[in-house]
Amino acid sequence: MSILTRKKTVMQAAVLAVALPMYGQHSDYPIQPVDFTHVHLTDHFWAPKIQVNADITIPYTLDQCRRTGRVDNFLKAAGKMPADKYTEYPFDDTDIYKVIEGASYGLQVQKNPKLELYLDTLIQIIAAAQEPDGYLYTFRTMKAAKPHEWLGSKRYEKEEDLSHELYNAGHLYEAAVAHYQATGKKNLLNIATKNADLLVKDFGYGKEEKAPGHQVVEIGLAKLYRVTGEKKYLDLAKFFLDIRGPKGSEYSQANKKVVDQSEAVGHAVRAAYMYTGMADIAALTGNEAYLKAIDAIWHDVVERKLYITGGIGATGAGEAFGAPFQLPNMSAYAETCAAIANVYWNNRMFLLHGDAKYIDVLERILYNGLLSGVSLSGDRFFYPNPLASMGQHQRSAWFGCACCISNMTRFLPSMPGYMYAQDKNNLYVNLFAGGKANITLPAGTINLEQQTEYPWEGKVKIVVSPEKTTAFALQVRVPGWSKKELVPGDLYYGADKRAKPLAITLNGKPVKYDMVKGYAVINRSWKKGDVIAFELPMDIQKVYAKETVKDDKNRFALQRGPLIYCLEGPDNKDSTVQNIVVNKTAAIQAVNKPGLLNGVTVLEMKGSSTKRQVNAEELIKSEQTVTAIPYYSWANRGPGEMVVWIPYEASAAKPKPAPTIASKSKVSASIQSPRMFKALNDQYEPEDSKDQNGTYLHWWPKKNTLEWVQYDFDQEYTVSQSQVYWFDDGPWGGCRIPASWKIYYKKGDEWVPVQPIGNYETAKDKYNLVKFEPIKTTALKLEVQLPAEHATGIHEWIVK
């Protein structure tokens, strides 16, 4: 019996509705992905990136796990090293698991005996750290003299808060399944099932009735169930979902029962992992209530909370979704992990519903907000992926919280697994990239070859070669962007909404097809060497956001094919882009640049820029050629300015400021974070004290300490006043206005306090002015007394 009915027509041979069997039957998604091991890419876009991941990123990340003590955590838990210290976070174990998963995917594509041997060595170390009953969590097992504060006194005591014991387990299970499928070895799988058996014993109604603090174990248990057939793992995954809420935190999606949720709230990575797990369990058990919930949540995200890059998570406060249409650009969090989780979720939604709109969202994420997370060199990374920058955002070699780095290593090798899917004798072509695939349908084995230079060019040729003449339905996704439907819903739209139907040929002649759920369906008997060809329109689209997205008002973004573009400093006049204005009607030209950023197509257009003059109100306006590059490729040439949303009204642009004493000064501070120094003199005007769109310097998590910042001038000046705009993100953040502050000037080798005329002002949401007796000096120091219970931050420090 089906929960939802499946309707088919012989002519269309297409899935029009999802069919889910009742709980208890061995079932899965009605549509199944074609495993990436059956897809071999030879294109010039994805294949090199996957190779860089194999050659650079995976070895680099494995080495960093060793260098940073993550491997040592396991050795300490095994009693092979003294437990005198540990790494920063109790979930650091998962970085090992995720890299093993990514390396295992790589082994399925390309044999590497040396890497396989190293993984076996790591697995031995993991096995030695596992306790006899299956418990595996190095931070507790190592019995450090001073345990990490997130642990609690006994197992799972703080699981619903910060311990991440179940989160670690989930990534262990995913790694174990990947390693088993890659090598046929059960050494890691046995560790995983032993741990999962312990969870089955410990958790459940009448036992530990706790939900995972950070979701992902649900996905891992579903994978274990598929591999082992052990229904107890599926039951436990469902328990972890059903026990969630309603009295918990919105931050971890525990404020309601999962079946009662209809909006995306809280931590974006946790949320998207949970929705992915709900889809898995819905497919495996036929739970219609889960489906209803994630359908509603999907609409909430796509229609109100999705960045044009496919990123999710508007705010760094809780790494969380914001309110509807709250999509700031410079402070966008859009975490790399959230992008990856969003791909997982949207792929599951497609497997449930067979609708191309989910792949439209997946493709947007894939080419933009996900791919931006790793540098072209494969060894520098983004945690957040903002849509604007004044130079404060730089790629990092590593993060203390390295989840995004290890997540990228495991995702990229599996990318070809999102290209094709099948449902009985329906074969879906979801993504376009040059290469070959071998696919077995009930009707027979089919070899497909794609020939294309996508995403740079729109021509796609698909050579269909069944082993023998075979009848089946080929369903080719017609991307929403090619039909001027940029995203499902109306959050983003193009100026020109007209689109011609896609012309498809079969062996050089036009062929009729049916459009079903975004797919061009061609149902026929196929013979070896049949060629389907079409050309997707690669015209450049100016994209606008709904009026309710205030951060994108009077601006447009640029999209060509699946790629979102941005303006970046190195390609534009004065290395400045915040001050650029481009007319809505400006003609835009696509230009291939094989020598730039590993080979990209850039967009060129006429625009103008403005800058301020010293001691004058009138702006200097210049006409210039404006160049845009693909968003994924930005920040590969060092820090600099960047914008995705380009002003078409001068009021939305920010003229380049005139130089000031402060802007020409060298900054130093009591905190060693040069990235934040730029905030003091970048002349950004904050909206209020908690404004996170621009840059700011802060001393968090310090409190009740005496701190300082310093300007060393480019020459001696006579100065007589100073203004400070404090960063205060109360009531939820950790910074408040200071308890007090003072200005000192350099006199010879000594620091001397200025003589204020009146009192030092200390207030939120405004510049705090202090005037003082004129002094000649080469440097000023601002001394700050932090409040007793909070840190303090500074948006801007002006000297006159």
Instruction: Give the pLDDT confidence of 581-605 residue by residue, as tens digits.
Output: 999 999 999 999 999 999 999 999 9
Q: Is it the case that residue 617 has pLDDT exceeding 80?
A: no
Domains in the chain, please, with CATH? 421-477+500-535 (2.60.420), 540-651 (no CATH), 666-799 (2.60.120.260)
Q: Is it the case that residue 654 has pLDDT exceeding 80?
A: yes
Q: Quick: pLDDT tens for 336-380.
A: 999 999 999 999 999 999 999 999 999 999 999 999 999 999 999
Q: Quick: pLDDT tens for 441-450.
A: 999 999 999 9
Average pLDDT value for the chain: 93
Cα 85 vs. chain centroid, distance in angstroms? Answer: 31
Q: Is it the case that residue 576 has pLDDT exceeding 80?
A: yes
HSE, side-chain direction, 13 A CA sphere, residue 733? 21
pLDDT band at 238 (very low <50, low <70, confident <90, very high): very high
Q: Is it the case that residue 135 has pLDDT exceeding 50?
A: yes
Q: Is it the case that residue 474 has pLDDT exceeding 80?
A: yes
- Find the distance separating the first CA and the last CA of the chain, reported in whole Å: 78
pTM metric for this prediction:
0.92
What residue type is assigned to position 150 of the chain? W
Residues in contact with 44: Cβ distance below 8 Å, sequence separation at least 6, in sequence order: 434, 453, 599
DSSP letters, 308-364, are TTS----BTTTTB--STT---STT----HHHHHHHHHHHHHHHHHH--HHHHHHHHH
Taking residues 310-335, report their average pLDDT: 94
- Rounded distance between C-alpha atoms, residue 101 and residue 174, angstroms: 7
DSSP letters, 417-430, are GGSEEEETTEEEE-
* H or E stretch covering 296: helix 288-304
What is the chain's length? 800
Q: Is it the case that residue 20 has pLDDT exceeding 50?
A: no
pLDDT band at 15 (very low <50, low <70, confident <90, very high): very low
Please tell me which of 5-9, 21-25, 116-120 the model is most confident about, judged by mean pLDDT: 116-120
Query: What's the pLDDT at 615?
Result: 74
Taking residues 642-662, report their average pLDDT: 94
Instruction: Count other Cβ atoms within 10 Å, centred on residue 503.
Output: 10
State the virtual CA torsion across 220, 223, 229, 230 in degrees, nearest 10.
0
- Rounded distance between C-alpha atoms, residue 83 and residue 147, angstroms: 10
- Rounded distance between C-alpha atoms, residue 85 and residue 76, angstroms: 9
pLDDT band at 10 (very low <50, low <70, confident <90, very high): very low
Q: Quick: pLDDT tens for 33-61.
A: 999 999 999 999 999 999 999 999 999 99
pLDDT band at 672 (very low <50, low <70, confident <90, very high): confident
- Residue 252, classified by CB atoms within 10 Å of its CB into exposed (0-12), middle (13-18) or buried (19+), is buried
pLDDT band at 26 (very low <50, low <70, confident <90, very high): low
**Mapping DSSP to helix (H, G, I), strand (E, B) and coil, where does residue 685 land?**
coil
**Angle between helix 288-304 and 268-285 (nearest 10):** 150
Q: Is it the case that residue 736 has pLDDT exceeding 60?
A: yes
Taking residues 124-149, report their average pLDDT: 97
Taking residues 697-706, report their average pLDDT: 94
Cα 759 vs. chain centroid, distance in angstroms? Answer: 47
- Rounded distance between C-alpha atoms, residue 557 and residue 385, angstroms: 16
Query: What's the pLDDT at 560?
Result: 98
What residue type is assigned to position 119 of the chain? L
Residues in contact with 576: Cβ distance below 8 Å, sequence separation at least 6, in sequence order: 569, 609, 611, 641, 656
Taking residues 85-106, report their average pLDDT: 95
What does residue 302 show for φ and ψ, rounded to 5 degrees? -70, -30
Q: Is it the case that residue 22 has pLDDT exceeding 60?
A: no
Helices (H) and strands (E) in the chain, counts: 16, 31
Q: Do residues 542 and 558 touch, judged by C-beta distance below 8 A?
A: yes
In the structure encoding, which two tokens stand for residue 26, read together?
A: 């061995």
Taking residues 286-312, report their average pLDDT: 98
Cα 434 vs. chain centroid, distance in angstroms? Answer: 25
Query: What's the pLDDT at 73?
Result: 97
Q: Is it the case that residue 75 has pLDDT exceeding 90?
A: yes
Query: What's the pLDDT at 674?
Result: 80
